[in-house]
Structure formats: structure tokens, C-alpha cells
Amino acid sequence: MDGNGRWAKSRGLPRKAGHRAGAETVREVSDACLELGIQYLTLYAFSSENWNRPQNEIDALMKLLEQFLKSKSKEFAKKNVRLQTIGRTHLLPESCRAELNRVIEETKNNTALTLILALSYGSREEITDATKAIAEKVQNGQITPSEINNQTLSNHLDSAPFPDPDLLIRTSGELRLSNFLLWQLSYAEFYITQKNWPDFGKKDFREAIENYARRQRRFGRVSSSK
């Protein structure tokens, strides 16, 4: 969800105003998913590298997250949205963790859309943690090295309960993965837009989906088209 800061700067506003506008875009895109029947939406809300930002911006983002959760919990229930997370959420402030756990518990049986927030998330850290967990199982005799395969690693990632993404949307014209779902995005299609995240509405999301629908996904196979 890139471009919140740039959106604010272009309007002479503080960065936190951009983050607030970005939170509203989350609602728009979530509603678009519900309308289109898309069952999983993962949003890169706060990366492991974001802890290196100025403390006042981190504090503002954590406060915004808490406010978002408090204000959206009833809406999630009404719209049948389940909230889940990936990342090292134990690093979040206690008040954020409490609110996060509350909404996750309250929405656990909802089925229309699973909204996954990547919080304090970094894909390299996720893969490292998964590797350590597998190594411990080998050491304890629970599995042998010869039994380890791609699925073994997938099963130990934070995202194990969810399918791999089909489409990555990158706003603000960014052309890198930025340590996001490096393993899971192996076969995903990419869609790049110059629009900053706060300007990315339902219409833009639908255009991304329509663009994706026109592509032929081969997964390494030869195309059958002439």
C-alpha cells in the first residue's frame, strides 16, 4: 500500500494524514473484494523495516491501527469479514495486540472475505523462522531431512492457512517486492499502477482484476494457444 506519504506531501499535509486516507482505501478495496467474490485479501500494513521510521510516525501508525480495528469490528461482523494477521505481531504495542486479538476472535467464523494484515512482517524473517522450526523438528526426530520439500516449508510459514496470492498489486509505481511474501509470490501475476494508495479506489481495483483475468497463467508449461 505505497504512496501514503507522497499523497500527503503533494497536498501539503502531514504524513499521518496520508495514512488516514490510506485506511479509508482499505475499506474501498475490501468492499470491492466482497462485490467480486474474492475470498482473500492480504495488505502489507507495516513491515519489519518500518520499525526504523521516526518514532512519532511509528506511534501515529500504531494509533491509527488501533483506531481502525475499533471502528471496523462491527463493520466486519455486518459484512461477514474475517480478520487474520501474519508477521511478528508480538512486537506491536500491548494495546494494539489486545485490540487485534479481540477482532480476530470476534470474526473467526466469518466466511465472505478473509482480510489478512501483514504487521511487523518481513518475508526473510518469516522464512528464517520457518527454517528454524523445521530444523528443530529434525533435531527432535519428528522428521528426517529427506522428508523436507517445498510443502514442508510452506506449512511452517505464517501464511500456511491461506492460499498463495494470485495477484500482487503495487501502487505508487514501485517495482520491487520489498521483502513481501517472497516464497508465496513465486507464481503470482504483478500489476503496477502509478496511483498512490489513497487514490486507488474500487474502479482501479476492478481494472487490476480485469487486467489479471486477461492473462494466461502457464506455471512453467508451454502455452496451448496458437
Q: What is the 3-state secondary structure (H, E, C) of the chain?
A: CCCHHHHHHHCCCCHHHHHHHHHHHHHHHHHHHHHHCCCEEEEEEEEHHHHHCCHHHHHHHHHHHHHHHHHHHHHHHHHCEEEEEECCHHHCCHHHHHHHHHHHHHCCCCCCEEEEEEEEECHHHHHHHHHHHHHHHHHCCCCCHHHCCHHHHHHCCCCCCCCCCCEEEECCCCCCCCCCCCCCCCCCEEEECCCCHHHCCHHHHHHHHHHHHCCCCCCCCCCCCC
Per-residue model confidence as pLDDT tens for the chain (226 residues): 999 999 999 999 999 899 999 999 999 999 999 999 999 999 999 999 999 999 999 999 999 999 999 999 999 999 999 999 999 999 999 999 999 999 999 999 999 999 999 999 999 999 999 999 999 999 999 999 999 999 999 999 999 999 999 999 999 999 999 999 999 999 999 999 999 999 999 999 999 999 999 998 777 666 655 4
Is 2 among the residues known to form the active site?
yes
For 4-212, give the CATH class.
alpha beta
Pick the catalytic residue from 50, 110, 179, 211. 50
pLDDT (tens digit per residue) in 37-57: 999 999 999 999 999 999 999
Q: What percent of the chain has pLDDT over 90?
A: 93
- Per-domain residue ranges of the chain: 4-212
Mean pLDDT of the chain, nearest integer: 95
